Chain A
Amino acid sequence: MDVLVQGAITSATIALVALGFSLVYGVGGIVNLAHGSFFMIGAYAAYAASEADMPLLVAAVIGVAAAMLAGVLLDRLVIAPIRHQEVAVLIATLAVAILVQSGVQFFFGGLERQLPGFVEGSVSIFGVDLRQTELLAGLMALVTIVVVLLVLTRSPAGRMVRAVAEDEEAAVLVGVRPERVTLYVLAIGAGLAGLAGVLVAPYGVLTPTMWLLPLTQAFAIVILGGLGSIQGTVLASVVIGFLDRFVAFNVKDGGIKIGLVTVAVILATLVLRPQGLLGKVAR
Chain B
Amino acid sequence: MTDTAAHAKPSAGSRAKRFLKPNVVLLALIPLFLLYLPRFVENTTLLQAISVATIFVMFAASWDILSGYTGQVSFGHAAFIGTGAYTVALFSKYEPGVSNELALLAGVLVAALLGVAIGVPCLRLKGPYLALATLSVAGALVQITFIYKEQLGGEDGIAGVKNVQDGAVTGPLGEGLSKLVLGPLTFGGKSPFDQYIYVSYFVALLAMVLVVGGLMLLGYGKRGLVLRSIQQDEAAAEAAGVPLTRYKLAAFVLSAACAGFAGGLYAQIRGTVALDLLSVDLSLLIIIIAAFGGAGSIIGPAIGAYAVILLQNYYLDRASDVFVEHPELKIGSFALLLIVVLIVAPRGLVPPLLQRLSGRGSPSRAAGAALTESA
Contact surface of A with B, Cβ cutoff 8 Å:
25, 31, 33, 77-78, 81-82, 84-88, 90-92, 94-99, 101-103, 105-106, 208-209, 212-213, 215-216, 219-220, 223, 253, 256-257, 259-260, 262-263, 266-267, 270-271, 274
**Is B354 in contact with A92, judged by CB distance below 8 angstroms?**
no
Shortest distance between the CB of B300 and any CB in chain A (Å): 16
- Interface residue SS majority, chain A: helix
Give the residues in chain A near B132, CB-CB below 8 Å. Answer: 31, 33, 215-216, 219, 266
Decide if B135 is an interface residue (CB 8 Å cutoff): yes
Q: How many residues of B contact A (CB 8 A)?
A: 46
Q: A91-B291, A99-B332, A216-B135 are in contact. List 12 more A-B contacts (CB 8 A).
A: A31-B127, A33-B131, A81-B343, A85-B375, A87-B359, A91-B342, A94-B135, A95-B342, A98-B332, A260-B143, A263-B137, A270-B133
Report A-chain residues with C-beta under 8 Å of the C-beta of B354.
85, 87-88
In the bound complex, do residue A96 and residue B329 qualify as a contact, i.e. CB atoms below 8 Å apart? no
- What residues of B have a CB within 8 angstroms of the CB of A78 in the complex? 339, 342-343
Tell me which of A82, A257, A271 contacts B143 (CB under 8 A): A257
Q: Does B358 contact A (CB under 8 A)?
A: yes
Query: Which chain B residues (342-375) contact chain A, with CB distance < 8 Å?
Result: 342-343, 346, 354, 357-360, 375
B272 at the interface (CB under 8 A from A): no
Q: How far is the CA of A103 from the CA of B143 in the complex (A)?
A: 23
Complex: how many Å from CA A111 to CA B128?
A: 32
21 contacts between A and B (CB under 8 A): A31-B128, A85-B346, A86-B358, A87-B73, A88-B342, A88-B358, A91-B291, A94-B135, A95-B284, A95-B336, A95-B338, A98-B281, A102-B331, A106-B332, A253-B147, A257-B147, A260-B140, A260-B143, A262-B140, A263-B136, A270-B122
Q: A266's contact among B124, B136, B288, by CB below 8 Å, is which?
A: B136
Which residues from chain A contact B288 at a C-beta distance below 8 Å? Answer: 95
Q: Which of B128, B140, B284 contacts A98 (CB 8 A)?
A: B284
Beta-carbon contact of B124 and A270 below 8 Å = yes
Are B133 and A266 in touch, CB under 8 angstroms? yes
Residues of chain A lying within 8 A (CB to CB) of residue B343 = 77-78, 81-82, 92
CB contacts under 8 Å to A, within B48-85, are 73, 75
Q: Beyond A256-B147, A270-B125, is A92–B338 a contact (Cβ under 8 Å)?
A: yes
> What is the CA–CA distance of A238 and B196 in the complex, to the nearest angstrom?
55
Q: A73 → chain B, closest Cβ, in Å?
A: 11
Does residue B97 face the partner (Cβ distance < 8 Å to A)? no
Distance (whole angstroms) from the CB of A26 to the closest CB of chain B: 12
Smallest Cβ-Cβ distance to A103: which chain B residue: B332
Measured CB to CB, the nearest residue on chain B to A262 is B136
Across the interface, name the chain B residue whose C-beta is closest to A264: B140
Q: Which residues 127-173 of B have a CB within 8 angstroms of A?
A: 127-129, 131-133, 135-137, 139-140, 143-144, 146-147
Please state if A90 and B128 are interface contacts (CB–CB under 8 Å).
yes
User: Are A82 and B280 in contact, with the CB atoms below 8 A?
Assistant: no
Looking at the assembled complex, report how far the CB atom of B11 sits from the nearest CB atom of chain A, in whole angstroms. Answer: 22
Q: List residues of chain B with CB within 8 A of the CB of A96.
A: 335, 339
The reply on B189 being an interface residue by CB < 8 A is no
Closest 9 CB pairs of A and B: A102-B332, A31-B128, A87-B357, A263-B140, A95-B335, A102-B328, A105-B328, A99-B335, A85-B358
B257 in the interface, Cβ–Cβ < 8 Å?
no
Q: Residue of B at shortest CB range from A87?
A: B357
Residue among B127, B143, B280 with the highest chain A CB neighbour number at 10 A? B143
Docked pose: A106 CA to B326 CA in angstroms: 7
Q: Which B residues are in CB contact (< 8 Å) with A92?
A: 338-339, 342-343
A219–chain B nearest beta-carbon distance, Å: 4
Q: Which residue of B lies closest to A271 (CB)?
A: B121
Give min CB distance, A25 to chain B, whole Å.
Answer: 8
B12 an interface residue at 8 Å Cβ cutoff?
no
- For A213, the closest partner residue in chain B by CB is B139
* Complex Cα spacing A88 to B361, Å: 14
- Establish whether residues A267 and B121, one from each chain, have CB atoms under 8 Å apart when the complex forms: yes
- In angstroms, Cα B147 to Cα A106, docked, is 28
User: Per a CB cutoff under 8 Å, which of A90, A95, A216, A267 touches B339?
Assistant: A95
Say whether, besides A85-B360, A270-B129, A212 and B335 are in contact (CB < 8 Å).
no
Which residues on A sit within 8 Å (CB–CB) of B357?
A: 87-88, 91
| CB-CB nearest in chain A for B145 | A256
Most chain A beta-carbon neighbours within 10 Å: one of B139, B360, B375: B139
Chain A residues with CB under 8 A of B256:
none
Q: Check if B287 is an interface residue, CB within 8 A of chain A.
A: yes
Chain B nearest CB, measured from A107 CB (Å): 10
Are the CB atoms of A91 and B338 closer together than 8 Å?
yes
Least CB distance from B281 to A in Å reads 6
Q: Are A94 and B284 in contact (CB under 8 A)?
A: yes
Whether B280 pairs with A91 at a CB distance below 8 angstroms is: no
Min C-beta distance of A227 to chain B, whole Å: 9
Using Cβ atoms and an 8 Å threshold, which residues of chain B touch A87?
Answer: 73, 127, 131, 354, 357-359
Question: Nearest Cβ distance between residue A174 and chain B, in whole angstroms?
Answer: 26
Tell me the bound Cα distance from A16 to B131 in angstroms: 22
Shortest CB–CB separation between residue A183 and chain B, in angstroms? 16
A98 B335 Cβ-Cβ under 8 A: yes
Q: What A residues does B326 contact at CB under 8 A?
A: 105-106
Residues of chain A contacted by B287 (CB below 8 angstroms): 91, 94
Write the chain A residue with the least CB distance to B336: A99
Contact partner, A260, options B135, B147, B329, Cβ 8 Å: B147
The CB with the most chain B CB atoms within 10 A, among A25, A86, A215, is that of A86
Closest B-chain residue to A220, C-beta based?
B136
A256 touches B284 (CB 8 A): no
Collect the chain B residues with CB atoms within 8 Å of residue A77's CB.
Answer: 343
Interface pair A256/B360, CB less than 8 Å apart: no
> Which residues on A sit within 8 Å (CB–CB) of B291?
91
| Partner among A84, A94, A98, A216 whose Cβ is within 8 Å of the Cβ of B139 | A216
